[in-house]
Structure 1
Amino acid sequence: MLRLSGAHGGTTQRRVQLGTVGTVAVTLLVAGCAGGTGADDGGAGGSASSGTVTLVTHDSWAIDEKLVDRFEEESGLTVEVSAAGDAGTLVNQLVLTKDAPLGDAVFGIDNTFASRALDAGVLEEYTPADLPEGVEQAGGALTAVDQGDVCVNADEAWFEKEGLEVPATLEDLADPRYRDLLVVTNPATSSPGLAFLLATIGAFGEDGYEDYWASLVDNGVKVADSWEDAYYVDFSGAGEGGQRPLALSYATSPAFTVTEDGTESTTSALLETCFRQVEYAGVLAGSDNPEGARELVDFLLTADVQAGLPESMYMYPADPAVGLPEDWQRFAPQAEAPFEVDPADVSEHRDEWIERWTETVVG
């Protein structure tokens, strides 16, 4: 089993589940180090056909090394990756370093934080010339690369052993039958945590979500700072000694807890608890190598990269025309009706909602 830090939550996210992932053949830079290029590798303002292009991203970046190698060979560029933590931390870093960008391109800003990055002006407007039909853009500067549903996951084996019905809805999670069984992630430090907070706002409204969270607190919900802690430390379904059979993760997670004979998964996603997360790529304003950054964004939308996302990033491709692995239809279906919150409302109220959540849940 390969274990990687998640990115959308503290170090969050996610999706690195049980499975094997190729190691990205790029140079990992220490988070927070200045990006850009130096004189020895192309210099500032390096051309699109030479030099270094630095991608600032979250800790869950994992693209097939052969594809990255091919991109470097065909473009003449050298790709360096600067991992900046979770998506929320990533956006905070970009805003704080707006006048001295950490790199040239960014991947991993999601729809819960996109408005903040756009409003702060950290991105250059860019639309790929060969943008696949149906791929979403945000603000003329962010292009969707992948998507996935943040949902509560259940340890099916635990529930079968205990003779307890697996919960299905958000309301079920507050039922005393499931006391002390659920672990979620903090929306202030984890983008899956923020996505789940938005799911509850979409379900219960601004006037009702605090009461719902109060009911979860009364029912013994545990809050972890990161997806990695929630999934690998607390979740019993991860196979690492966790004690809680309900954990916030992704609808794709059960595709990576499949039994050796491939007939079933030991976990399931509660598809009535989901919020759809979209991850974007873009060009950082004022970067040293904007042309290289545009090429890198284009690369992430190519058919080969998109087709590899389920296995490398454990997310659905943004391009709806790309096929999916056969077992995903069985073990990783998307929610038919994920909860939604208007992006304008997220932009206006995100900090307020997190503050109110903190007062209700953390105290």
Structure 2
Amino acid sequence: MRLRAPVTVLAAAALLTTGLSGCGGSDSGQGAGERPTKVVLLTHDSFALPKKLTQQFEKESGYQLVVRSNGDAGLLTNKLVLSADNPDGDVAFGVDNTFASRALDAGVFDSYTPQDLPAGVSAYDLPGDDGSHLTPVDQGNVCVNIDTTWFAEHHLTPPASLDDLTKPAYKNLFVTPGATTSSPGLAFLLATISKYGDGWQTYWKKLVANGAKVVDGWDQAYEVDFTQGGGKGKRPIVLSYDSSPAYTVSGGKTTTKALLDTCFRQVEYAGVLQGADNPDGAKELVDFLLSPAVQKALPTSMYVYPVAKGTALPKQWATFAVQPTKTWDVAPDDITKNREEWLQQWSDVISG
């Protein structure tokens, strides 16, 4: 099951005013006038590639790949902003569309667009950037999921939409990670803002009144409270991902389903850091992340979808990980402008 380390969004934003010690210096392993021996990747805690692919990159490029994890997408972005004048690496991966505009406004990324983009990649460009600084690498959707076996056993018609979650029939059945403590939780908040506009707070008040449970992170929501998780959860409706049903397959059938009318798309990007000690190595790594081998490995290594059109998916993904044809979206500029206000308003609603 896909697991994204929770991000404390409000706390992460506070770092912008308090500062961050130890930033700067990518440690490229070079002396004066020498060719760098390392390329330093700054990423989130969920970054993972098969060892053979890491070895392939190092063999083909001649650089040692140094990976430095920095929490989730929100913390990663804030650390990049704080060290924009003296980056702690050469290249970053994992800034997503909910935080990317903040990094661009701070001048975090140098201009770079791979010359040989695979088909379909440009469809995921960040609006306003058009791939000139950030290159799409993977994509997926945060969606409400249901335990189909629970609803069948209880002879209850399952919900199908965001509106349904506020109906009495589903009282005390939904659990979600919080918007201030996890990236999927923030994505869900943005989905409700996209759908309900100025009425999103009214929607959340109805949701809370209907017994929705808000927890810190995805792991708590899915693995502890969800009936199909790893524990003995009692809630058959959970916020998760469109890929989640591919991991609950038993006897050739999945026991869960993503509600495709509830989804918010997340796209993760890679970019060369402004002021990198090894910009050439950074560019090679961005190119490598779009290679057929890496794109094919993304579903099984990081539980996300590739952006390169035509990339083969694992058998269970092709059958059970159904993606929505339409998602709820909020413009990056609107997210940047209103994120902290929305989070404060959301917190006020949740606290009553």
- TM-score in terms of structure 1 length: 0.86
**CA gap 1:349/1:313 in 2 versus in 1, 3 angstroms:** same
**CA gap 1:32/1:168 in 2 versus in 1, 3 angstroms:** farther
* 1:352 counterpart (304, 325, 341): 341
Partners in 2 of 1:245 and 1:132 — Cα distance?
A: 39
Query: How far did residue 321 of structure 1 move?
Result: 2.7
Partners in 2 of 1:300 and 1:119 — Cα distance?
A: 24
Number of aligned positions between the proteins: 336
Other-structure match for 1:85: 71
Partners in 2 of 1:290 and 1:337 — Cα distance?
A: 37
Other-structure match for 2:272: 283
Letter in 1 for 2:340: D
Contact 1:45 1:289 in 2 (8 A): no
Other-structure match for 1:18: none
Partners in 1 of 2:47 and 2:32 — Cα distance?
A: 25
Partners in 1 of 2:21 and 2:2 — Cα distance?
A: 19
> Secondary structure of 2:254's match?
coil
Letter in 2 for 1:212: Y
Residues 313-341 of structure 1, C-alpha deviations (whole Å, 9 max, x = no match): 11111112322223323211101211122
Partners in 2 of 1:44 and 1:361 — Cα distance?
A: 55
* 1:333 counterpart (322, 326, 334): 322
Structure having the higher helix fraction is: 2
Contact 2:26 2:87 in 1 (8 A): no
Aligned 1:75-154 pairs, distance under 5 A = 75-136=61-122, 137-138=125-126, 139=129, 140-154=132-146
Q: Is structure 2 residue 62 aligned with structure 1 residue 71?
A: no
Partners in 2 of 1:6 and 1:83 — Cα distance?
A: 13
Contact 1:36 1:104 in 2 (8 A): no
Other-structure match for 2:30: 42
Partners in 2 of 1:93 and 1:224 — Cα distance?
A: 25
Contact 2:143 2:259 in 1 (8 A): yes
Contact 1:88 1:189 in 2 (8 A): no
Partners in 1 of 2:34 and 2:222 — Cα distance?
A: 41
Other-structure match for 2:213: 222
Query: How far did residue 34 of structure 1 move?
Result: 5.0
Partners in 1 of 2:137 and 2:159 — Cα distance?
A: 32
> Secondary structure of 2:143's match?
strand
Partners in 1 of 2:108 and 2:326 — Cα distance?
A: 33
> Secondary structure of 1:324's match?
coil
Other-structure match for 1:240: 231
Query: How far did residue 161 of structure 1 move?
Result: 2.6
Contact 1:94 1:101 in 2 (8 A): yes
Query: How far did residue 44 of structure 1 move?
Result: 7.8
Query: How far did residue 226 of structure 1 move?
Result: 1.9
Point out where structure 2 has 5 or more consecutive residues left out of the alignment. 10-19
* 1:53 counterpart (32, 39, 58): 39
**CA gap 1:216/1:265 in 2 versus in 1, 3 angstroms:** same
CA RMSD of aligned residues (A): 2.3
- TM-score in terms of structure 2 length: 0.89
Q: Is structure 2 residue 249 aligned with structure 1 residue 258?
A: yes
Contact 1:125 1:141 in 2 (8 A): yes
> Secondary structure of 1:237's match?
coil
Partners in 1 of 2:48 and 2:254 — Cα distance?
A: 23
Partners in 2 of 1:94 and 1:344 — Cα distance?
A: 18
Letter in 1 for 2:135: T
**CA gap 1:264/1:35 in 2 versus in 1, 3 angstroms:** farther
Letter in 1 for 2:242: A
Contact 2:166 2:210 in 1 (8 A): yes
